[in-house]
Amino acid sequence: MIKELHQKLKNKEISSQQLVADSLDKIAKNNKEINAFLEVYKSEALEQAKSVDEKINRGEKIGLLEGIPMAIKDNLCVAGKKTTCSSRILSNYKAVYDATVVKKIKKAGAIILGKTNLDEFAMGSSTENSAFGPTKNPIDLERVAGGSSGGSAAAVASGVATWALGSDTGGSIRQPASLCGLVGMKPTYGRVSRFGLVAMASSFDQIGPLTQTVEDSALVFDAIYGEDEKDNTVTQKEADGYSFAINLNDDLSGKKIGVVDEFFGKGLDDQIEKTIRKKIELAEKAGAEIVQLKMPFLKYAMAVYYLMMPCEVSSNLARFDGIKYGLSDTTQKESKSRNISEVYFLSRKLGFGSEVKRRIILGTYALSAGYKDAYYKKAQKVRELIKADFLSAFEKVDAIVSPTSPTVAFRIGEKSSDPLEMYLSDIYTVSANVAMVPAISIPIGTKMENGKNLPFGLHLMTRWWDEQGLFNLAAGFEKLG
Amino acid sequence: MLKKDEVKKVADLARIELTAEEEKSFALQLSSILEYFQDISQLEVGEAEVVDHYQLGINQVRSDNVSMVIEDQAEKIQAEFPNKKKGYLSVKQVL
């Protein structure tokens, strides 16, 4: 998609201004209903498109992402623009600087259409936890777009943006990609700078692309990976300018693909299971070797995640206190706070939604005296055992295959009363964040429900830093059709 | 099973005021989530070592140079203060 658009721009078959105008038209028509965008940068986008067109007309070279409209999840800072995290507590906050990824894509000439909706502070699997209303799935407006990067997924799935950036802490890129029929990729922890991403759970968070194709995913990844002095967890393994897209190779022959029983367990939709198993057979016919794996600690990944993540959340969200920035009780019409302590309590009461409060309290509980060893420290150790499981698995195979989500998109409101049931939508995706390995979801089939073809994804994980292998295998599966 | 007053105590630690209804529903919901953790709290982990950045990740370091915040950036940061006096962050009485 990106490459074709790039060619068309270069050949002047289409102009960047046309692309942007078309996107803005669609936003004007659909956004009220879909609620993918929280803010649209109309005049800046048009102006930027005009200057790209002028550049093309002058015969200057343009980059692959240049002049092509995209969207950004609203937990990434864009200087001078609102960065709300879909929370009341930041509803008027303007970012002071660009996130490193934003700086990079601006440099690449991508046109930022605006900011997309998410579950408040990226906490959720349906984008229903947004303070600004849920995002609807463009394929079926009665259903969720997934989450937490639901706005980014809906922006791409509705054809408004060619690609979008999301963030993934437990599946927040891959699960909405699965539910909206897109490719969603989470890099190895430490691949992409998190500077300027509003932190949720710092040892799990990564930024990644939502796109229509695997090649597009690799193209965007090319633009965002790499070292950053502002995030010292980032490591770069390749020479500067290495392109994962150019080195893409979709040949499945000789590849060893692991299958784990835990990923085909209770709660998995029959049709999704059948389709994934069928694709695995097809991969075998295409020359891949299928290896049955045992990963005894994998089944604890959910528990580890839903314990460690709230701990990190409770610590990261302590900064929202009504003092330095964001919503403050002191500036409310009916301000009741008399001292600094009451400012904290009342600002946080007003500013945070239920899910955020729930996770902060759970994390505070698990970290409190007397419980820290039993919960947080124990979970940290189990996390290492899960990583060790992955380490020995990747001595035998190149990748592990599974479904992305146990179900297709569910109805809005269907799971919002039971947090634990909602958490289980991440059952196949969290282990990649727990183990810190790269992972991707690609659209692999659809299930007909009430006259709508609802998409679902196939999920692949590879060893640490092997994004090339991940893209290659994903392209191989994509080719199987 | 988490009790309502335990939830209240933890909420106090987290500096969040909860409504009576939230205290009740959180006690129930958090209990069911904590039950889910029973699985791992029973688990024998032995001497599993905690490694911060598994496999080949190298922490990047940079020299510790003092640099001044660019002037208009300081203004932008100040613009986000809920309350300010003469460019300083103003807060309610602490003591």
Query: Could you list the mean pLDDT of each consecutive 10-residue stretch along chain A, which spans 481 residues?
Result: 98 98 98 98 98 97 98 98 98 96 98 98 97 98 97 98 98 98 97 97 97 98 94 89 97 98 91 97 98 94 93 97 96 93 96 95 91 87 92 96 96 84 87 97 96 97 96 97 76
Side-chain half-sphere of A76: how many Cα atoms within 13 Å? 30
* Chain A CB contacts of B92 below 8 Å: 330, 337-340, 342-343
- Given a contact cutoff of 8 angstroms between Cβ atoms, the answer to whether A2 and A65 are in contact is yes
> For residue A9, what are the β-bridge partners?
none
Does the beta-carbon distance from B76 to A302 stay under 8 Å?
Answer: no
Residue A437: CB atoms within 10 A of its CB come to: 28
| Separation of first and last alpha carbons in chain B | 37
pLDDT value, residue B49: 67
| Confidence label for B54 from pLDDT (cuts 50, 70 and 90) | low
State how far the Cα of A35 lies from the Cα of A13, in Å rounded to an integer.
Answer: 31
B39 contacts chain A (CB < 8 A): yes
Those residues with Cβ within 8 angstroms of residue A93's Cβ, 6 or more apart along the chain or in another chain: A82, A83, A84, A325, A326, B80
Q: Which of B22, B48, B76 faces A385 most closely, judged by CB atoms? A: B48
CA angle A71–A74–A80, rounded 5-degree value: 90
Confirm whether pTM is higher than 0.90.
Answer: yes
State how far the Cα of A420 lies from the Cα of A481, in Å rounded to an integer.
Answer: 34
* Mutation for A interface: B19, B37, B64, most A CBs within 10 A: B37
A229 contacts chain B (CB < 8 A): yes
- Given a contact cutoff of 8 angstroms between Cβ atoms, the answer to whether A357 and B30 are in contact is no
State the angle between helix axes of A467-480 and A270-285 in degrees (0 to 180), rounded to the nearest 10: 100
pLDDT value, residue A369: 83
What is the interface pTM, i.e. ipTM, of the complex? 0.90
Task: Respond yes or no: is residue A172 known to be catalytic.
Answer: yes
| Confidence label for B51 from pLDDT (cuts 50, 70 and 90) | low
* Chain B CB contacts of A346 below 8 Å: 17
B40 contacts chain A (CB < 8 A): yes
- Given a contact cutoff of 8 angstroms between Cβ atoms, the answer to whether A103 and A72 are in contact is no
Side-chain half-sphere of A474: how many Cα atoms within 13 Å? 35
Q: What is the 3-state secondary structure (H, E, C) of B31-44?
A: HHHHHHHHHHHCCC
B51 contacts chain A (CB < 8 A): yes
* Chain B CB contacts of A423 below 8 Å: 33
pLDDT value, residue B48: 67
pLDDT value, residue A440: 98
Does the beta-carbon distance from B15 to A314 stay under 8 Å?
Answer: no
- Given a contact cutoff of 8 angstroms between Cβ atoms, the answer to whether A69 and A20 are in contact is yes
Looking up tokens 């592990």, which residue turns up?
A400
Q: Which stretches within A62-191 are classed as H helix?
A: 100-107, 150-157, 174-180
A206 contacts chain B (CB < 8 A): no
A419 contacts chain B (CB < 8 A): yes
CB within 8 Å of chain B, chain A residues 313-332:
314, 318, 321-328, 330-331
pLDDT value, residue A357: 96
Does the beta-carbon distance from B18 to A349 stay under 8 Å?
Answer: yes
Q: Which of B17, B48, B89 faces A381 most closely, judged by CB atoms? A: B48
Cβ neighbourhood burial of B68 (10 Å; 0-12, 13-18, 19+)? exposed
pLDDT value, residue B75: 87
Does the beta-carbon distance from A330 to B83 stay under 8 Å?
Answer: yes
Query: What is the Cα A470 distance to its own chain's centre?
Result: 16
Provide the token pair at A54. Answer: 């002028």
Shortest Cα distance, chain B CAs vs residue A390, angstroms: 11
pLDDT score of B53 more than 60: no
Which residue in A380, A353, A370, A358 sits closest to A310, CA to CA? A358
Residue A35: CB atoms within 10 A of its CB come to: 21
Q: What is the CA radius of gyration of chain B?
A: 23
- Given a contact cutoff of 8 angstroms between Cβ atoms, the answer to whether B53 and B59 are in contact is yes
| Confidence label for B50 from pLDDT (cuts 50, 70 and 90) | low
* Chain A CB contacts of B43 below 8 Å: 300, 378, 382
B54 contacts chain A (CB < 8 A): yes
pLDDT score of B47 more than 80: no
- Given a contact cutoff of 8 angstroms between Cβ atoms, the answer to whether A5 and A18 are in contact is no
* Mutation for B interface: A98, A361, A384, most B CBs within 10 A: A361
Chain B residue closest in CA terms to A380 = B50
Shortest Cα distance, chain B CAs vs residue A9, angstroms: 36
B41 contacts chain A (CB < 8 A): yes
Higher pLDDT, B41 or B50: B41
Question: What pLDDT, in 10s, does the model give residues B71-88?
Answer: 678 888 999 999 999 889
Strands A69-73 and A111-116, bridge-based pairing: parallel
Backbone angles phi, psi at A40, to 5 degrees: -120, 130
Task: Respond yes or no: is residue A266 known to be catalytic.
Answer: no
CB within 8 Å of chain B, chain A residues 42-101:
80, 93-94, 96-97
